[in-house]
Amino acid sequence: MAVRTLTEMPGPDGGRVLGNLTDFSADPLGFLTQCARQYGDAVRLSPKNVLLTSPGDAVRMLVDRGSDFVKQGPGTRRAGRRQSLPLSTMSSDGDEWKVRRGRIHGAFGRELSAAAAAAMPDQAERMLASWRPGQVRDLQQDVSVVTLRLVTRLMFGVEYSDEEIADVAGLVAPIMDLSTSPVVLPEWVPTPPKVRIRRHLKRVVRTLEQVTASPAAADPKAAPVLYALLHDTPAPGRDEIRDELATLLMAGFETTNDAVVWASILLARHPEAAERVHSEAEKALSEDAGGMALLNAMPFTDAVLRESLRLYSPVWITSRDARVDVELGDHLIPAGTTVTVSQWVNHRDPRHWREADAFLPERWLGKETSTIPRGSYFPFGLGPRTCVGAALSTVESVLLLGAIWSAHRLRLKNPDAVHPRPALALQPMNAEFVLERW
């Protein structure tokens, strides 16, 4: 097949830069879907931006030719500035990334997942203790308290107080707001979200400094992630440790909460699946199978999570900048181009998924998904930079869903008002739930 250059790729209005940016900002999910359906596998969004929609190209970009791309080139750095994220494993590249990833990777192994599985039932019970039928709950808020308490205990060996949890939530919310703003003002302009970010960041940093100095930090069993950072050689600087910890908190916070809330929205909309989760979880919990055995006793709840991560992947878009000219499949991507692949587009591609827009958790229980091409489903990314917290977050989400839905049936208060907001993460908006008896 002949290799296509950037100028030969089709795209909306021949790469009408400002028009496309406006269309993208108005409805990012609709715009990307429309581009994929109308223009196919490679879409020129502007002279410097390409959208790739075939699963093979997602694998080539993130895995096979991953080292020809950088996460923080000129294009993505511009976007990154809006996020005000500190430098960390998540935001570094090249040798620096290798060192940073190497430091934390080992601490996110099976032991951490097993510890999460062992600790989650008690944490969930604490949350459910005040829940009563008839109440209207902000599930996002409830879930965020449980997941933050759990991950701070597991990673740092200390459990955050309600105030400290509110600080992390208060930091993430304006970062999300800022990431949806179509207007990028210079860094020094003190917009309300930036003022809130600064205020909360100060408090989050203060807590992290206390955490780093706590006695638990010296115990690899009690605080595996913090210990791994503090005891690497050469030892990272204080600021480096603090930034890494802040990023870990934020990376796992919104994404995991969104995953649990989206799965609950789908269950509220599909009563048969909800019944099945309820009885599966009730049985598993009554049999008192602790830890990972409890997780293994909930295959349908796990399938619900996978299907929910397909339809509403918290990370909905992934971009890289070409470091050099790259031949990717039958496209020639010039150095400096920002290439985007989208979980939202690939996860719902009717060429690869049966009833692509339908919620069908059963598809994960049989052989169906074994025939789906690699690159059609990547909620946790692909290749060397896949999510370090994937296993941890899966354990948390499945067990939390099981605990919630075994105890209560959840009804959406305003089902028609629920919609996704594609910020840095795909946030469920207006998802208030009314608790009901089974």
User: Which residues of the shown chain bind ligand HEM in the complex (CB under 6 A)?
Assistant: 71, 89-90, 101, 151, 248, 251-252, 255-256, 259, 314-315, 318, 379-381, 385, 387-389, 392-393
CB closer to ligand HEM, 46 vs 394: 394
CB closer to ligand HEM, 167 vs 243: 243
Q: Which amino acid is at 398?
A: V
Calculated CA dihedral for residues 374, 383, 226, 258, nearest 10 degrees: -40
Tokens for 346? 């690939």
Q: How far is the CB of 393 from ligand HEM (least distance, A)?
A: 4
CA 180 – CA 58 distance, rounded (Å): 24
Q: How far is the CB of 428 from ligand HEM (least distance, A)?
A: 13
Contact 283, 383 (CB under 8 A): no
CA 403 to chain centre: 21
Instruction: Give residue number: closest CB to ligand HEM.
Output: 389
Q: Report the alpha-carbon angle 368-372-378, nearest 5.
A: 115
- 67 closest CA partner among 324, 315, 318: 324
How is the chain split among helix, strand and coil, in percent rounded to 5? Answer: 60, 10, 30
CB closer to ligand HEM, 71 vs 409: 71
Helix ranges (H only) for 91-233 are: 94-105, 110-128, 139-156, 162-180, 192-212, 224-230
Q: How far is the CB of 311 from ligand HEM (least distance, A)?
A: 13
Q: How far is the CB of 88 from ligand HEM (least distance, A)?
A: 7
Helix ranges (H only) for 270-341 are: 271-286, 291-296, 299-311
Q: How far is the CB of 250 from ligand HEM (least distance, A)?
A: 9
Q: How far is the CB of 318 from ligand HEM (least distance, A)?
A: 5
Q: How far is the CB of 251 from ligand HEM (least distance, A)?
A: 4
Q: How far is the CB of 348 from ligand HEM (least distance, A)?
A: 16
Tell me how long the chain is: 438
- 260 closest CA partner among 159, 127, 383, 76: 127
CB closer to ligand HEM, 103 vs 194: 103
CB closer to ligand HEM, 11 vs 313: 313
CA 262 – CA 311 distance, rounded (Å): 9
Contact 245, 211 (CB under 8 A): yes
CB closer to ligand HEM, 179 vs 393: 393
CB closer to ligand HEM, 6 vs 426: 426
- 183 closest CA partner among 22, 27, 316: 22
CB closer to ligand HEM, 9 vs 317: 317
